[in-house]
Amino acid sequence: MMDFTRRNLVMTAGGVLAATAVGGPVWANPDRKMGYAIVGLGGYGLGIIIPQFKYCQHSKLVALVSGDPVKARKVAGEYGVPEANIYDYKNYDRIKDNPDIDIVYICLPVSMHAEYTIRGAKAGKHVLCEKPMAISSAECESMIAACKQAGKKLMIGYRCHFEPFNLEARRLARSGAIGKLRYFRSEHGYTTGGNNWRVKKAMSGGGSLMDIGIYALQAARYMTGEEPISVYAKETTDRSDPRFRDVEDMIEFQLEFPSGVIGSCMSMYSANRNQFLLMGDKGRIEMEPATGYQGQKLWVGDGRKNEITAPPNASANQFAGQLDHMAQSVMQDRTPIVPGEEGLRDIRIIEAVYRSAREHKRIALK
């Protein structure tokens, strides 16, 4: 994995500010790092998120929740987590008795997001939940309501909001660098295997759209700065392929925005692609890879002649930025920039995409 610096980003509606520039209430002990419990020690929680805490300024790993006690003890030993701070899914609610835990990060299959978010909030903890937020908008609403009732913050793990090249692309698009924006295109996909929870609809809520296509949808929204008003979608899936007996492979969807901008997105589980393109009347902005864990490349102007290699804070770590942003949102009593309502909006649009593909018609969005 790429070696990142400890520099941290906090994004506001207008861009990115250094964490020290953010105002608001000051935590009672500003030198204390917020304690995280990672819920789920699968590939993402263990392989991607846990190693990022060493780059954080305001966050630390203090607890683990896993159904595999042997793995949990091994991980705890490697990362200095006390064995007393290891929980399983049955005694998860006991986290309420542990003052070291401020935030739980839900890194579980999508079908488990709602339950463990709600239980976490009821246990008195703030919640950072991986994307997609849940398998339905109804579940998203329940998660938001539970956190509000408990007086706890809820943030969704949209890490690209903390990734420097994405932030620079967004800044350029909104600054008029390519003139009036006319068209957005994004294609996101990878070749999936057939033996994982992501191809089981009961656990994932859907196929490529829920897993990787949501990046295309998110990019369309945060790059244009608009909310789509309608969607039209078409699914193409080979049901004889054992990988796709339960979920979709390819789904393409067109988004219409109030300004007249058209977004064209493709999601797929049978080909590798990670790209977006913004076309204005005076030029273009392109990223490929766009939303990967690392290695982003950005071009602006005419084709790929002008590559932006050093945007502001280019060495910053999107994962540490995300963890620290949630920590600072708690410390300063601020709403995270990607709250539960952001995740709910995506799921509502995804539900409309699926409906459009089923009914073969344009769906107006509320």
Per the annotation, the verdict on 366 as an active-site residue is no
pLDDT per residue as tens digits for the range 206-247:
999 999 999 999 999 999 999 999 999 999 999 999 999 999
In the DSSP assignment, the letter for residue 229 is: S
pLDDT, tens only, 317-333:
999 999 999 999 999 99
Of the candidates 60, 131, 152, 153, the residue annotated as catalytic is 131
Task: Please confirm, yes or no, whether 215 is among the known catalytic residues.
Answer: yes
Strands (E) in 32-98, as ranges, are 34-39, 59-65, 86-87
Q: Which of 97, 120, 166 is nearest to 340 (CA)?
A: 120
Kindly give the interhelix angle for 137-150 and 340-359, rounded to the nearest 10 degrees.
170
Kindly state the tokens that stand for 169. 């692309």
Cβ-Cβ contacts under 8 Å for 151 (sequence gap 6 or more):
none
Query: Which token pair is 327?
Result: 């920590």
pLDDT (tens digit, 9 = 90+) per residue, 25-49? 444 566 799 999 999 999 999 999 9
pLDDT in tens, 63-98: 999 999 999 999 999 999 999 999 999 999 999 999
Helices (H), the chain: 43-44, 69-79, 113-122, 137-150, 164-175, 201-204, 208, 214-224, 318-331, 340-359
Is the separation of the CB atoms in 362 and 225 below 8 Å? no
Q: Are 199 and 192 in contact (CB under 8 A)?
A: yes
SS3 337: coil
The single residue of 36, 105, 158, 215 carrying the catalytic annotation is 215
* 326's tokens: 């949630």
Q: Which of 91-100, 249-258, 313-322 has the lowest mean pLDDT?
A: 313-322
CB contact at 8 A, 157 and 322: yes
